[in-house]
Copies of this chain bind each other. A is one copy, B any other.
């Protein structure tokens, strides 16, 4: 079992504090890291600041070459990386490959995007000046990542950061640092200037304040919880910094009575049970119109009960484990509390009879809006249904939490569609089809954060804009 180290200033740096990572599918150790400390965080920041002097001046062709080198290495090491990723997360192989591929795709996508980053010349009304806007990399970025998609999250940040000429401190989640650390070893072998990418393995509690309160980073970015995002902002005020925050969601699904029920059921369950429901855009509050409620329950019950727990290469409709014992306990307690308050448990709701942190595929109906299942982000494989009728303003109910990441609507009615478009206060509004893709901006409103991941819009966060006027 290998022990991984932080990457700082082009060196793999070890400490004597070892942390063991647990495989959620077995509850057994699957790798070690040595924990970075605050001094190392300072070194990483200084290294990034230093590297930025070189890397920020590199040409697009130079960066394309370096990024191409990393991409090549990733593809050569795909098998061990995906294995490590499966081990630390308990994912199925299909989801792990998606996770890995998104890292690779982000490397490609953003350098192609930067090749097309056209600047703007603004007209001079008097005809004797030339004014243009020049995008320059901000310099040093600090990125705090989540454990649900370790490599996708890494790609979302590394792709645009490297393409734009920025340098970075990456802080992967302590629960799932191994695959990222492996990628760090590959980065070390590439020809990036030392310090371009630094990866700090360790605990957020120990490292985050040092990083956020340093005046070195110009941009703090996070994929994590609203609470962590607010803490980051609070810690930042030693200097003016910018933020890009992809925080938690609490996705509503509205299934109107004219919806294609089969399509809705399939898409909801597929998205909800992918990655054991541990996705920020996972359906959380599923509103089903009364007229079709029973029919909907029948169909979804059939599909839910076809799932069985598994991981890695297991085939069929597989539900993988949740990330930790603690998470499993929280989920079971959400179910119990809802049942106590009147929800009906149709299936599941208990810990699976096997090693690891598996919850049975779980379906609850008649959930009400005061239950924690509704007010909190579930982040696990619990499907919670609530009926609605035409008496209530369902869009208002859908907007009634602080979250604003993703919302789903199933309907053929033009007027429902138009209303959804206008009134839903969500960064991603998906109508009749679940679709996430690299070219589509991803990000939330309200307490789900701001700034966009992936898509051409991500670049906006990574550049300063200089207005340059020449007479």
- B226 contacts A230, CB within 8 Å? no
- A116 contacts B115, CB within 8 Å? no
- B469 contacts A431, CB within 8 Å? yes
**Residue of B59, B121, B123, B245 touching A115 (CB-CB under 8 A):** B123
Interface status of A171 (Cβ within 8 A of chain B): no
- A466 contacts B427, CB within 8 Å? yes
The residue among A234, A237, A452 with the most chain B CB atoms within 10 A of its own CB is A237
What does DSSP make chain A's interface, helix, strand, loop or mixed?
A: mixed
Q: How many residues of A are in contact with the other chain, CB < 8 A? A: 86
Residues 170-221 (chain A) with a chain B CB within 8 angstroms: 218
Measured between alpha carbons, how far is A59 from B133 in the docked complex, in Å? Answer: 21
Among residues of B, the one whose C-beta sits closest to the C-beta of A455 is B122
Measured between alpha carbons, how far is A116 from B122 in the docked complex, in Å? Answer: 7
Stretch of A30-38, A80-88, A94-102, A436-444 contacting B (4+ beta carbons < 8 Å): A436-444
**Residue of B439, B440, B450, B456 touching A240 (CB-CB under 8 A):** B450
Residues of B within 8 A of A471 (CB): 431-433, 435
**Residue of B64, B114, B123, B447 touching A118 (CB-CB under 8 A):** B123
Among residues of B, the one whose C-beta sits closest to the C-beta of A239 is B447
Residues 117-135 (chain A) with a chain B CB within 8 angstroms: 117-129, 131-134
Residues of B within 8 A of A437 (CB): 124-125
How many identical subunits does the complex contain?
4
Interface status of A75 (Cβ within 8 A of chain B): no
Interface status of A397 (Cβ within 8 A of chain B): no
Measured between alpha carbons, how far is A132 from B468 in the docked complex, in Å? Answer: 14
- A133 contacts B441, CB within 8 Å? yes
**Residue of B116, B121, B234, B443 touching A237 (CB-CB under 8 A):** B234
Measured between alpha carbons, how far is A425 from B125 in the docked complex, in Å? Answer: 22
Residues 412-471 (chain A) with a chain B CB within 8 angstroms: 412, 414, 417, 421-422, 424-433, 435, 437, 439-443, 445-450, 452, 455-457, 460, 464-471
Interface status of A233 (Cβ within 8 A of chain B): yes
Given contacts A226-B240, A447-B240, A456-B116, contact A428 B122 (CB under 8 A): no
Measured between alpha carbons, how far is A189 from B64 in the docked complex, in Å? Answer: 32
> Which residues from chain A sit less than 8 Å from chain B, CB to CB?
57-62, 64, 112-129, 131-134, 218, 226, 229-231, 233-234, 236-240, 242, 245, 247, 402, 412, 414, 417, 421-422, 424-433, 435, 437, 439-443, 445-450, 452, 455-457, 460, 464-471
Q: 23 interchain pairs (CB within 8 A)? A: A58-B127, A59-B124, A59-B126, A60-B123, A60-B125, A62-B127, A112-B116, A115-B123, A116-B116, A129-B435, A131-B440, A132-B132, A133-B441, A134-B421, A226-B240, A230-B237, A231-B237, A233-B236, A239-B447, A428-B466, A431-B471, A432-B471, A433-B470
In the complex, besides A59-B128, A234-B234, A441-B467, 15 extra interface pairs with C-beta distance below 8 angstroms are: A61-B127, A116-B116, A119-B120, A119-B132, A120-B120, A125-B439, A132-B132, A230-B238, A231-B237, A234-B237, A240-B448, A421-B466, A427-B465, A431-B470, A435-B471
